[in-house]
Chain A
Amino acid sequence: MEQPSVLQYVIGVFVLACGCLAAFARNPVVSAMALMGTLFSTGALYFGLGAYFIGAVQILIYAGAISVLFVFVVMLLDLKPFPVNIPGSSLGKVLAVVAGAGFLVALGMSVLPGLHGAANVAGEAETAKAVSLRFLSKYMLPYQVTGLMILSAVVGVVVLGRPRKEKKA
Chain B
Amino acid sequence: METLSALGGWLWSPAGLSYLLVVLVGVGLLSGVPVILMIERWGSAWMQRRRGPNRVGPFGLMQPLSDALKMVFKEENIPAQAHKILFQLAPCLAVIPPILAFAAIPISGHLILDGTEVPVQVANINVGLLFVLAITSLHVYSVLAAGWASNNKFSLMGALRSSSQMISYEIAIGITVVSLVLTYGTLDLREIVKLQAHGSSLPMWGAGLQPLAFLILWISSFAETNRLPFDLPEGESELVAGYHTEYSGLKFGLFFLGEYVSMYLASAFLATLFFGGYNVPFVNEAMLREFWQNAAGVTLETAALLAVICQLISFVVKVFFFMWVFVWVRWTLPRFRYDQLMDLGWKMLLPLGIFNAIVTMVVSYYLNRGGRF
Contacts and interface: CB of A to CB of B under 8 A. Distances in A.
Chain B residues touching A, range: 20 to 34
B148 A64 contact: no
Contacts of B156: 75
A56 B144 contact: no
23 contacts: A27-B83, A29-B83, A29-B86, A29-B148, A30-B83, A33-B86, A33-B141, A47-B125, A52-B131, A53-B130, A56-B130, A59-B135, A59-B137, A60-B130, A60-B137, A63-B138, A64-B140, A68-B144, A72-B144, A72-B163, A75-B160, A128-B130, A128-B187
A76 B126 CA distance: 38
Given A33-B141, A47-B125, 17 more contacts: A29-B86, A29-B148, A52-B131, A53-B130, A53-B187, A56-B127, A59-B134, A59-B137, A60-B133, A60-B137, A64-B137, A65-B137, A68-B141, A68-B163, A71-B141, A72-B160, A75-B147
A39 B25 CA distance: 27
A33 B145 contact: yes
Contacts of A27: 83
A30 B87 CA distance: 11
A128 B128 CA distance: 11
B167 interface: yes
Contacts of A36: 141
A75 B155 CA distance: 12
A153 B127 CA distance: 30
Interface string B127-169: 1001101110110110011011000000010011001000100
A84 to B, nearest CB: 19
Contact of A127 (B85, B126, B135): B126
Interface string A59-80: 1100111001001100110000
Nearest to A47: B125
A30 B125 CA distance: 32
Interface of A: 27, 29-30, 33, 36, 40, 43, 47, 52-53, 56-57, 59-60, 63-65, 68, 71-72, 75-76, 127-128
A156 B325 CA distance: 43
A71 B144 contact: yes
Contacts of A68: 137, 140-141, 144, 163, 167
A128 B140 CA distance: 26
Contacts of B86: 29-30, 33
Contacts of A63: 134, 137-138
Nearest to B187: A128
Contacts, number: 70
A47 B135 CA distance: 13
- The 7 A-B pairs at the shortest CB distance, nearest first, are namely A64-B137, A60-B134, A56-B130, A59-B134, A52-B125, A56-B127, A52-B127
B126 A128 contact: yes
Contacts of B137: 59-60, 63-65, 68
Interface string B187-224: 10000000000000000000000000000000000000
Contacts of B140: 64, 68
Contacts of A59: 134-135, 137-138
Contacts of B138: 40, 59, 63-64
A76 B138 CA distance: 19
Contacts of B163: 68, 72
Contacts of B141: 33, 36, 68, 71
Contacts of B85: 30
A128 B83 contact: no
Nearest to B125: A52
Contacts of B159: 75
Interface string B97-138: 000000000000000000000000000011100110111011
Contacts of B147: 75
A28 to B, nearest CB: 11
A60 B130 CA distance: 8
Contacts of A127: 126
A75 B159 CA distance: 10
B151 to A, nearest CB: 11
A57 B145 CA distance: 23
Most A C-beta atoms less than 10 A away, residue of B83, B145, B147: B145
A154 B63 CA distance: 52
A19 to B, nearest CB: 17
Interface string B66-92: 000000000000000001011000000
A43 B134 contact: yes
A68 B166 CA distance: 11
